[in-house]
Amino acid sequence: MRVAVVGSGPSGCYTAQSLVQLNPEVLVDVLDRLPCPYGLVRYGVAPDHEKIKSLQNNLRTVLEHDRVRFLGGVGIGPGGVLAARLRELYDAVVYCVGAATDRHLGIPGEDLPGSWSATEFVSWYSAHPDATADGFTTGVRSAVVIGVGNVAVDVTRILARGVTELSPTDMPQTALTALAASRVTDIHMVGRRGPSQARFTTKELRELGGLPDTEVDVQAEELALDPAYLDPSALPAPQRRNVEVLRGWADAVRQDAPRRIALRFFLRPVELLTDGGRVGAVRFERTTPDGRGGVIGTGQFEEIQAQLVLRSVGYLGVPLEGLPFDPATGTVPHLAGRVLREGTVSPGEYVAGWIKRGPTGVIGTNRPCAKETATSLLEDALTLVAEDRHEDPLTVLRAWGVDPVEWTGWQAIEQAEARLGASLGRRVVKLPDWQSLMNAAHGSTD
Ligand code: NAP
């Protein structure tokens, strides 16, 4: 049985792993649009989170399994291989394409120069080859990060970090140089609900308190607007721990550090205000709990000055041509991972990861999710395997003019990144653009 897994991030790799572990005969091709594997582990996990980054080693083991093959640089959809044609090459296809875009706020001024999605900023410092924007911190003293999830914490932390801490990471040289020259002194991370409802995890939150030359500023009276802050006893443990960390900061004696991270709550963004054609401030409305877990506006407003705004309000799945899609959830309708077309199981098509369950959970959440899908697929195996399909899909792809980057090509990219790092007196440094990635993959020194 030959299975294509589309996407080589955690959900794709864990799906491949489950398939080969659960069945001794299945052969898996893991396809990716990029010439590099690992998805958000390479292009989303913050460069200073080395421990999480090292999960790449686990994913590598999967892609180096003798019944798994990595085929990079293969886009699925218009301009690449259409989903229907891919399906002809394999007995089954599992889509693990993640949630490729970001949610919007839908407020005036959102698109002003200086206002970016957190994803754009993350892609820049992660060297994603599609990232074209730069100059995020040029002329910026004060930044506002909208949202209080783990991505908001990541971008806040990277803005607050100094060059000494960033230099050992694999951050591309242009981003390192720009962040080294940054004069950002104030970062305001703002939640529309209360501290007990923030989405960040305690480990990530606590890390903000350990940044050199940076103090975390919270307002006790603002935290106290949340009834659960005053009496956290009924909160689930993760939220209670968050509240305890925040209380510790509220009780701490103010220092006078060169940089400040202000954690704000009960403020919902209503407009980004312009200053000379760029963003100059964010106008927020003070909110108050509605007693049902949500908030309502109070009619009181506050402006926070900011020359940089990072909107970190979650990812969103995008439709893939040829697959059904539920725009309300940004996911593909499914039954235990089996793609549903108008409520009926579509033979040989599966989903796993964020395109299956939405953009939530940590990397490990993808393991059981992928296993469920792999189990469904293998239960269906007898109905899927086509007797007359004997040709290696790679041969057919090549005949169609597609020239995948195979594992050796990826290893050549890794070697080029090690050489680049050595030439800059750093460790591994990522190649930031398509041309240099493809040159490295194809062994060219141009
Ligand atoms: P998230 O956890 O869903 O957080 C989104 C934040 O945006 C929430 O605070 C949400 O507030 C807020 N928000 C949404 N719409 C808003 C609006 N219109 N106005 C103001 N605020 C709004 O998303 P994420 O931070 O992008 O993270 C995605 C997933 O990746 C999460 O599961 C996260 O844990 C994971 N992740 C993990 C790590 C790590 O483990 N180190 C790092 C990065 C990401 P409400 O709650 O009020 O909706």
- What is the per-residue pLDDT for 254? 86
Atom of ligand 1 nearest to the CA of 152: 25
- Report which protein residue has its CA nearest ligand 1's atom 33: 150
Cβ atoms 103, 313 nearer than 8 A: yes
| Residue in 313, 315, 355, 362 to alter for ligand 1 test, most ligand atoms within 8 A of Cβ | 313
* 265 CA distance to ligand 1 middle (Å): 14
- pLDDT tens digits for range 60-91: 999 999 999 999 999 999 999 999 999 999 99
- What is the per-residue pLDDT for 58? 97
Please, which residues have CB within 8 angstroms of residue 68's CB and are 6 or more apart in sequence?
Answer: 16, 20, 28, 29, 30, 62
User: DSSP code of 233?
Assistant: G
Residue 306 confidence class, pLDDT cut points 50, 70, 90:
very high
Strands lying side by side in the sheet with 267-275? 267-275, 278-289, 295-305
| Residue in 150, 153, 158, 189 to alter for ligand 1 test, most ligand atoms within 8 A of Cβ | 150
- pLDDT tens digits for range 260-269: 999 999 999 9
* 162 CA distance to ligand 1 middle (Å): 25
Tokens of residue 209, six digits? 């308190």
Domains of the chain: 2-100+317-405 (3.40.50.720), 104-313 (3.50.50.60)
Closest listed residue to residue 409, CA positions, set 75, 11, 73 = 73
Q: Is the pLDDT of residue 354 over 60?
A: yes
User: DSSP code of 179?
Assistant: H
- What is the per-residue pLDDT for 445? 53
- What is the per-residue pLDDT for 128? 97
Mean pLDDT of the chain: 96
pTM above 0.75, yes or no: yes
What lines the ligand 1 site, CB under 6 Å? Answer: 105, 146-152, 154, 191-193, 197, 199, 204, 268-269, 312-315, 359-362
CA-to-CA separations, 122 to 41, 86, 100, 366, in angstroms, rounded: 12, 31, 13, 21
Closest listed residue to residue 221, CA positions, set 189, 266, 260 = 266
- Report which protein residue has its CA nearest ligand 1's atom 9: 148
d(CA 102, CA 121): 12
Cα–chain-centroid distance for residue 56?
15
- pLDDT tens digits for range 30-63: 999 999 999 999 999 999 999 999 999 999 999 9
Residue 255 confidence class, pLDDT cut points 50, 70, 90:
confident
Question: pLDDT over 90 for what percent of the chain?
Answer: 95
Nearest-5° Cα angle at 26, 25 to 32: 150
Count CB-CB contacts under 10 A for residue 237: 8
Atom of ligand 1 nearest to the CA of 151: 25
- Residue 276's φ and ψ, nearest 5 degrees, are 65, 35
Closest listed residue to residue 437, CA positions, set 30, 58, 37, 7 = 37
Of the candidate ranges 291-295, 316-320, 381-385, 388-392, the one whose mean pLDDT is the lowest: 388-392
Please, which residues have CB within 8 angstroms of residue 65's CB and are 6 or more apart in sequence?
Answer: 16, 17, 20
Q: Is the pLDDT of residue 212 over 70?
A: yes
- What is the per-residue pLDDT for 446? 47
The residues facing 349 across adjacent strands are: 93
Cβ atoms 285, 301 nearer than 8 A: yes
Count CB-CB contacts under 10 A for residue 349: 24
Q: Is the pLDDT of residue 132 over 90?
A: no
| Residue in 192, 287, 354 to alter for ligand 1 test, most ligand atoms within 8 A of Cβ | 192
- pLDDT tens digits for range 355-408: 999 999 999 999 999 999 999 999 999 999 877 667 899 999 999 999 999 999
| Ordered DSSP codes for 349-417 | EEE-THHHH-S-S-GGGHHHHHHHHHHHHHHTHHHH--TT--S-HHHHHHHTT---B-HHHHHHHHHHH
